[in-house]
Structure 1
Amino acid sequence: MSSDGGPTFSVKLFIDKEKKKVLFAESDKDFVDVLFSFLTLPLGTIVRLFDKKSQVGCLDELYKSVESLGEDHFQTKACKAMLLAPLNAAAVHCNRLKVKVVDKNPMYRCKNASCRVTAFSSVPHAICYCKNVVQYIGEWTNKNCRDSDSKEDAVFVIGVAKFIITDDLQVAPASTRVMFSLIEKYGIPEKENIQEKVIQLNSAKMIGLLRRALLTKQVLTGLYFDVAILANPADMCMLSESMFAKQALETEPKFKAIKVRLVHAKDDSVLYAEVGQDFVDLVFGLLSTPLGTIMKTFRELPQTGCVDSIYKSVAASVKQECQSLLLSPVLAPFFVCSSNVMQVQELALRWLVIGSTSCFELNPKSVNDRAYIKDGPMNFMVTDDLQIRPFCLINTLEFLRACKVPKDKLVEKELTLNKTQVLKLVGAAFGTSKALSSVLMPSKK
């Protein structure tokens, strides 16, 4: 137990005292299981864990935009709640972790006591078939799920006693081969200044480790020596098609080109774009996308962190039957947006046992629509860092005045974004605070 009463696990660090650097760590399955669970987290959950200060690309501004946008712009009130607290499709597995990064799994049922509909929702404000709003009834656990009978001790990883984890979170089962590799790399055991230190990690420490994994390359060193995390300097100016995994550019018959009207300064970055519902639905949908999906889609995405090390370690350290959960994570039911450009699959409709009743899951969106945002004539203003607000003359004039760009320096043009450009935009939203400029006005250097 930690000092706050929560569960902990121990990790042994091997530290170079002279250089004040953690060389590597040794741990059992519990720590490594949590590391791999990071790949299942929706991006919106990550932003919420860090109180909208994740410093990951444009995600903080996207999340704030959902918060500030009026409920009348969404298909339903529940759609806004879905984006602010997106569900983890692998929650039934993550509930078994010894230390949980996210431990809230709310359950809602119709507030009408006489309702005969055997349904539930994991989203607040969902509407029952009897037209009543659902209400919170508690947290659901693995015991509620009809298909969660696993008695295995480990959640994701293979059944070995120990794992080796490098400072940048490369994971491998402990073995003679790995041991000799470490001996060669760090001069063990000749070096006398290598110290062994066992530390205890709880939920708060693992959340802090996640933030370092997103923003730094020396995660364990930063954690042990409490190194300050510097502001994320990531600024991608040129994005080539080589950044995509091969399957990302496969033909998507349902993809529709997206039109935007761009306003920028001559020979400078984008000021804002006027966009429609389709663009907003696309970028808002990014908040429900699992971290592992980003790693799968963008194989060469420039980033300051080392989540890619965790992703690349799955093949050697995770049970075969669990690998797809991490390498190709799916969305929770009903969370696919209308512009599913990354072709993410959706979890099959879930059934929970509540009391003695088997209940199906309600659709929090409109019955025949996947979109979060309501279709209509309303356009939106999107800034370079993906702040989104309803488009109106007053907002636009105030924004342009604040930019202090002379009128004769302003350029307006209409663009039609194809799938490659849209994919680049999604990657840029994760990797830079200048998403529109990096895709629509890339540097010529």
Structure 2
Amino acid sequence: MLLLPCSAADVHCKNLKLKIDNAELTQYFRSGDNYNTHSWLSYHATACCPSCSSDMYSKAYVSVGDSQVGGVFVKKRTRVIITDDLQVIPPLSAASISLFTKLGATNSNTTEDLTFSIGVEQVLNLLVSSLGSKTPFTETLLKHNPVPKVSSPNFNLGKCIESQTSGASISEEKENISVKLIVSKSKDMVCYAEVQEDFVNLLFSLLTLPLGFILKQMLDCPWKGCIDQLYSGVLDFDEKFFKSNHHKEFLSSPKLLPGFGYENKLLGVEEAVYYRIPNSSKLVADTSLLPSSTSPDPFKMKVLDPISNSDQDDSDRGFLEGPAIFTVTDNLDVRPVSATFQLSILNDLKVSFSDIEDRTVLVGKKEALRVLVASFVSNSALTNAFLREPKEQAIKQEQ
């Protein structure tokens, strides 16, 4: 779940002409052959159905809808121009003419057509380049430059965190995660944190997040790269080119597979919901594919916890067994608690015992978002998430 994460879009991505991973399509199982009486799904064929206590061995399949339309997310034969900085614009439009004028490409004598064969390596390099470069196509296909670093001193982390954690949309959590920080007083930085499994579950769950969800949280951030423009292009892309509004939503608000959320409830990421088609082994996430004369509620499926194989309480869910104590460094190296490891951290940072103090912080939705943003662009995630105020971060980075 952490090293080979899947999103709810995997059923669509299996139809891509070029696949960038070899992950198998997620399988679902249900009990019995009477498709209209069972409402439980499992990722395991050996699971026991909570309703009838039978083995859940019958396969269920997620349908993507009308295959006659063609394409994956957009309709077949849709043609667009994608600029070097990943803007998506229609061909022969005012925007495309402006693009050529801006580049000085006023006639055929100043341009030439080049055709490239794109494989998995080029796609992955293009992806990483888009995180740190404004010209990923040029860097990947023409110059073959080394992939740029994502983080940069020019990235205004403070502004980014402030834009995502301010305002009335951030609500106070009734239950927070307690984290003990070991802080260097003279350097005003987190040396390491002593945490329980709940905080490590939160950190590990960041690995399950779809890239689109991260971009959605950081939409107003001043990116060094241009991947944010690709996300904005999806939001502005004419809906008539998409196979359906549901397909556009897969990209603009990507969801996790059912049961993969765990502590991500603090971040607000949603899990997909599946519905059974009557008298069929097929499942759908798009309610418009259900019979129009009835409410979708009777067809809604529940999914067993993918780790426990049982419908356990949310408080018992997680990637780690507890209770346990862990050490987490400022750059998010997670280890079982060890005095030797903690001493080595202080030694490497050249921090004496007289210079450290304990600080306890509570992690709710606001703090979880700060950790997400800081971990994506900073090597000092805990310091930036818990010790730096947004305006202070902006000043330090400008200096």
TM-aligned CA distance change 1:237 to 1:262, over 3 Å:
farther
Q: Is the 8 A contact 1:385 1:433 kept in 2?
A: yes
In structure 2, distance between residues paired with 1:242 and 1:432: 15
Counterpart pick for 2:306 among 350, 354, 364: 364
Q: Is the 8 A contact 1:171 1:313 kept in 2?
A: yes
SS at match of 1:380: strand
Q: Are 1:343 and 2:268 matched, yes or no?
A: yes
Counterpart pick for 1:91 among 2, 5, 10: 10
Map residues 89-168 of structure 1 onto 2, 5 A cutoff: 89-106=8-25, 122=43, 128-129=47-48, 144-146=61-63, 148-157=65-74, 161-168=78-85
Q: Is the 8 A contact 2:69 2:76 kept in 1?
A: no
* Cα displacement (A) at 1:245: 8.1
Map residues 254-333 of structure 1 onto 2, 5 A cutoff: 256-265=175-184, 266-314=186-234, 315-317=236-238, 319=242, 321=245, 322-333=247-258
SS at match of 2:114: strand
Give the letter aligned to residue 112 of structure 2.
Answer: Q
* Cα displacement (A) at 1:294: 1.0
SS at match of 1:195: coil
In structure 1, distance between residues paired with 2:63 and 2:100: 48
* Cα displacement (A) at 1:215: 2.6
In structure 1, distance between residues paired with 2:80 and 2:177: 46
SS at match of 1:101: coil
Map residues 38-77 of structure 1 onto 2, 5 A cutoff: none
SS at match of 1:214: helix
Give the letter aligned to residue 258 of structure 1.
Answer: I
Give the letter aligned to residue 251 of structure 2.
Answer: L
Q: Are 1:209 and 2:112 matched, yes or no?
A: no
Map of 1:391 onto structure 2: 337
TM-aligned CA distance change 1:97 to 1:245, over 3 Å:
farther
Give the letter aligned to residue 297 of structure 1.
Answer: Q
Map of 2:88 onto structure 1: 171
Deviations 1:175-205 (A, max 9, x none): 3313321232122224834222111212332
Q: Is the 8 A contact 1:118 1:358 kept in 2?
A: no
Deviations 1:137-177 (A, max 9, x none): 9xx9xx94345443222222256652111111111121331
Structure 2 unaligned blocks of 5 or more: 30-37, 284-300
Root-mean-square deviation (CA), in Å? 3.6
Q: Is the 8 A contact 1:239 1:424 kept in 2?
A: no
Map of 2:356 onto structure 1: 410
Q: Is the 8 A contact 1:169 1:310 kept in 2?
A: yes
Map of 2:105 onto structure 1: 188
In structure 1, distance between residues paired with 2:238 and 2:318: 37
In structure 2, distance between residues paired with 1:326 and 1:233: 24
Give the alignment's TM-score, normalised by structure 1.
Answer: 0.68
Map of 1:58 onto structure 2: none
* Cα displacement (A) at 1:312: 0.5
SS at match of 2:262: coil
TM-aligned CA distance change 1:127 to 1:407, over 3 Å:
farther
* Cα displacement (A) at 1:99: 1.5
Structure with the higher fraction of residues in strand conformation: 1
In structure 2, distance between residues paired with 1:419 and 1:161: 40
Deviations 1:221-253 (A, max 9, x none): 01122111233443567524542288x862557
TM-aligned CA distance change 1:316 to 1:307, over 3 Å:
same
Give the alignment's TM-score, normalised by structure 2.
Answer: 0.75
In structure 2, distance between residues paired with 1:121 and 1:412: 43
TM-aligned CA distance change 1:203 to 1:350, over 3 Å:
farther
Q: Is the 8 A contact 1:234 1:431 kept in 2?
A: yes
TM-aligned CA distance change 1:436 to 1:128, over 3 Å:
same
Give the letter aligned to residue 169 of structure 1.
Answer: L
Deviations 1:340-379 (A, max 9, x none): 1221111114769xxx967986531332244324464422
In structure 1, distance between residues paired with 2:219 and 2:378: 16
* Cα displacement (A) at 1:86: 1.4
TM-aligned CA distance change 1:132 to 1:102, over 3 Å:
farther
Counterpart pick for 1:230 among 128, 148, 172: 148
Structure 1 unaligned blocks of 5 or more: 1-81, 111-116
In structure 1, distance between residues paired with 2:129 and 2:168: 30
In structure 2, distance between residues paired with 1:145 and 1:109: 9
Identity across the alignment (%): 28
